[in-house]
Structure 1
Amino acid sequence: MKIFVNLVCSLCLCCLAFFAQAETPLQQHSIVFGVHSKTAPLEWRNNGVDQGFNLELMDRIGQLTNKRIVIRRKTFQQLLTDVHDPYSPIDVIAVVSPITIDRALSQSDPIYATHAKAYTLQGKSFINGWADLVGKRVAIKKGAFVDVYISGKQQDFTRVDVDLYETGFQLLIKGEVDVVIAENFVARRLMPLYPSIRSSSDPLIYGAFNFVSNYNNAPLMAQINDALRQLKLSGEYDRLVNKWFGTGREKVDLNSAQKRMLSLAIFVSLLSAIGMLLTGYMSLSLRKRSKSLKIELAQRKKAEQAISKLSKQFQSVLDGIPHGVTLFNQDGECLWSNDNNNDLLSNPDFHYIDGQAFELKQALSDALTAQKSQITDMQIDNQYWQMQLHPIIDKQVVILLEQTTEQHRLRQANDEASRLASLGELSAGVAHEINNPTGIIIHSIAFISDALRDLSEASSQYQKQNPFWTIAGMAPDSAIDELDLSSQSINEGAERISRIVNDLKHYARPTLTNDYQPTCLNDVVEVSLRLTANQTKIFNVTTELMSPAPVVMGDAQQLHQVLINLIQNACHAIRQDADCYECNEHINITTTVEDNHICLIVTDQGVGMDRATLQRITEPFFTTRRSSGGTGLGLSVCSRIIKEHKADMQITSRLGKGTVIKIRFPLDY
């Protein structure tokens, strides 16, 4: 097996050596012409058959030089690489070279003149020169004569390299480039395939077709040039030009054309330089202007942000205030509102405090006519509001609504307090006047009591003498007893009047430090029940009094006042509850000792109180019975007296279940 492999390798090496030796004479009698059927200038392939000016011209050159023409097709970039390689099998390629720049290769005489122009989409502006390309995206075919021309020069546009002019046209349609700079003949062939593309400039670069080859093929290039000159002198060159380009049979003097084009190119370059200078100056001015505009724009944006932030803050403030704020025009149209209670303005029950109906349009008209701010008090149901109308510019009015129900009630309470204060001062004077006749009654009843004791014995003696004698229709003994009881009642009533007057005088005087005495709490309960007997007689009142009776340090009269007030409140609570009359126990009063405190507890089975009422029950002038004459001062005064006795009051209540009030006195008394 190893011998067989060695034999095959030896045969292969022999074949390679044979072909290597045979290639040299073939190369000496042929010209390898590199072309690209899709992109090489003046070359086409029709139904797989190679055609074109260069192919026919090369065939004639081959006949004149007695060499066979061999065609090799590669990409344009591969052809450029091969022609620079001295060992490449490609001998000659046809390319366009700028008329002002020679390629670093062996070149033939000019074959045909051409130029490159700018191509854009239909509707784009005309391009007058290189200066119009500043800032644009420009497609350039890599290695083409446009690439050779701009190499080493300043490029103020964005260059996009492409392998084919057709690739540049496709990018132009996609919007990925703005301009394509293409050789004229190739562009003319491609434009029918891309109808949305048009020529948009005069020639920007002039060039000429040449055959180029590596410098190692300089002798071959000399033969090609001799053949070209023979074809031009014989007129056959003109016939080929006319066949493929239809330009007539006249000769093209490329040397003179080259000079004219060079002059034109120099002129165009000068114009381009001037244009570039002007463009640079204008660009510098525009950059300065743009910079100042950017600064101004930034300042404006900053100011707008500040204004927007302030506007939002102002808006949030307006939306957050509890009062209604509404902006109207003269026709009554709402221009802006914070939607707080502004529906009142269209409510038919919303009226002036004096009862006059409120009309929005009339109020707006009056404010605009007077051009003065107006402040009025309004009412709806049991709520009170203050309405302010402020006329502003452009015949607009701002209406502010503020609820003043609490302020109104406070004013009423203040008026009531003033009236009660006046009544208190008057009562103090009346009390002084009442004390005089009360003193006379007490003094007189004491005299009558003493007289009755003396008359009792005389009555007994007189009755013996006159058995039918009566006093006021009654037996003398019964009459004397009834008179004695009446005098005691009159004395107790007078003393009660005196105590009440003294309490009233004491209440009217400024509060002074009290000299409290040991006071029996059970006695306070009994006295208070006697004083409220007329009110409690229709209720079932029970007591649970502790024994031995608890004693507290305090003022008995003030404690009477506290308990009497609590009993009266319990009676009022039960009167409001008709079903409670069926209960066996309406009011219960208890004295006891709990948790190191002496407690006085008043329990009723009345209507009870809700949480909101419980929170305000001891506030001055707060009452749920104002319509029936309540002043709201009872529990407020009781609370003050209890605090002065260093005690506290606990109130628990449930609607429909009743109320429990517990007064706790310190046990260390």
Structure 2
Amino acid sequence: MQYFIILILVLAGYAHADDNDIVLGVHSNTAPLEWRANGVDQGFNIELMNRIGQVLGKSIVVRRKSFQQLIDDTQTMDSDIDMIAVVTPINVRRTLSQSDPIYATYAKAYTRQNDDFIENWSDLDGKRVAIKRGSFVDVYLANKPQHFKIVPVDLYETGFQLLGEGLVDVVLAENFVARRLQPDYPQVRSASDPLIFGTYTFVSQRHKIKLMHQVNLALRQLKLSGEYDKLINKWFGTGREKVDISSTQQKMLTWAIIVAIVSIIGMLFTALVSRNLRIRSNALALELQQRKQAEQQILNLSDQFQAVLDGIPHGVTIFNQQMTCLWSNDAQQLFKLDNFVFVNQHPFDIQKTVQQVLDSQQSFIAEMQYDTQFWQIQIHPIAEQQAVVLLEDNTEQHALRQANDQASRLASLGELSAGIAHEINNPTGIIIHSISLFSQSITDLQAAAESYQQQNPFWQIAGLAPQTAFEELNHSAQVVEDSAKRISRIVNDLKRYALPNTNTYHQLADINEVVQVALRLTANQLKRFQVNVTLHPTPLMIKADVQQLHQVLINLIQNAVHACHDATDTIEIATITDTNKVYIKITDTGSGMDNATVARITEPFFTTRRNEGGSGLGLSVSSRILKEHHAHMQVQSSLGQGSCFTLSFARKCSESNMPKSAQRCHSSTFGNP
């Protein structure tokens, strides 16, 4: 009640203080906002302003000018225009006096029919974009750097014309205007979701803030009374597209007369035909009912038969002698594809094979291959010169056979590696023993050489001065001894890795030593990449079967190598610890894996390197070994960014001085781990 008393007092004061007319500047011809029909100004904004005038006790005078003239009038103190209705971006407030929001709208992109859609602002980069001068789109983009070329136009319709002529690529237009223009420009289409949201508001000159205050009070009163909602429902109600009412009424009247005439003719014709149809319909109804019952019985029987055939786990196809497919539950029919071949890669001709089976009346069975899958095909002759083709997926059985063969080869390779390691150790021991003798001999001969040089100052050894020669001999002997010891160490590592391990034997082991052995065994594969090794400065003891952990680390290192394809790729191996756990992290910057692949990497026989000889057993076996050690493997991977495998083990010792977090003790390009 207090609000309405204040409103009445304010309105009364305004009625005596100002002129009795409010001049509304109008520029649009867009229903349902503002337009003229049969010389009468109409539209939502005009009717809303008239209702505001009634509340204020003032008359509303409509004056039409160009949009630019109206914009200029709001900047001119002596203008004959009191206010105009314009759209303002929702996050931008104009500098002029502005009313409460009237109605929401938006702008979006419009392109030619065959042009690409505009998903976001970046899709406009480099394009020629038509924008109406002074529009809310123009206001929104003011002082904002853009990566497209703005083509200013006086009207949205001018922008549509330029778009049709190919002089611009995109028009950013307000929704209501574009809806009216599109029927006249069939080559133009809506090409984006709303890009800019705005609201219609009344705008006046700065010195008319008192008038705008009164308009806002009247507008709020209309909203509270429900008058505003009635206007919204009238002009923007659901299902009512607002167009030019006069032309629409004339068209509707014409069509109504045509429809009425057609309806009368149709009624007469229908009455004539319906009598004959009624008699015929009664006769057909009984026949139709009987046929439906028979069809339903046949359909039920067919569905039952088809369900049985579709439930067969193998592909079944029946051909006649002319190779016509009589029935099949195999939608793909792989045997008709060119890359469906025998396992020896010989081409397969289904038509020729079926004809041979029919001629000989003998069954045909063969092992086939399609890409990375393996199949067994059977072709059997049946009655009336027909043949049935059975196709069974045999990929898993084939993989099992390959895995068994590979396991046998690996077992043989292990025994052979142990034997070779023993044979290499014998000459290596001889080299180390001989080098020790050579080093002692060089030391003893050095004094004699010095004495002889005094007698023959020009005496040389292998073209070098005696002192230099002895230094080179000592250095060479040391290099040969170090190299022989390295060969012995690598051979011993290989021998331990290859020994049969039928019984799991867990003992205390230093995880740093396990990593170093695995690095020595994979040194030849790692030498092509940048490898950084970071080992904890103190021993990290766990309870484990060392040989099995060697196998796990070698598998992970080899996988990292296979994921890297460029010499700039990096492989990082680190050992770290906390209070209760010991960790090994193997990180690469290779090709990485998607989530679906990560979820399946420990499945037996699952591999992404089938064509390159991968068996799909490495991570499966590694996972089993880690479970036996009560250890865990965590995998983080992204396509194109690489992978990180983290192995965690329970710590079996606790040194009081050991740091709780990882410390870098060795980091270098991999050479001698």
State the TM-score, normalizing by the size of structure 1: 0.45
Larger Rg over CA atoms? 1
Which protein, 1 or 2, shows the higher relative CO under an 8 Å CA cutoff with sep ≥ 6? Answer: 2
Q: Going by fraction, where is helix more abundant, 1 or 2? A: 1
TM-score by length of 2: 0.45
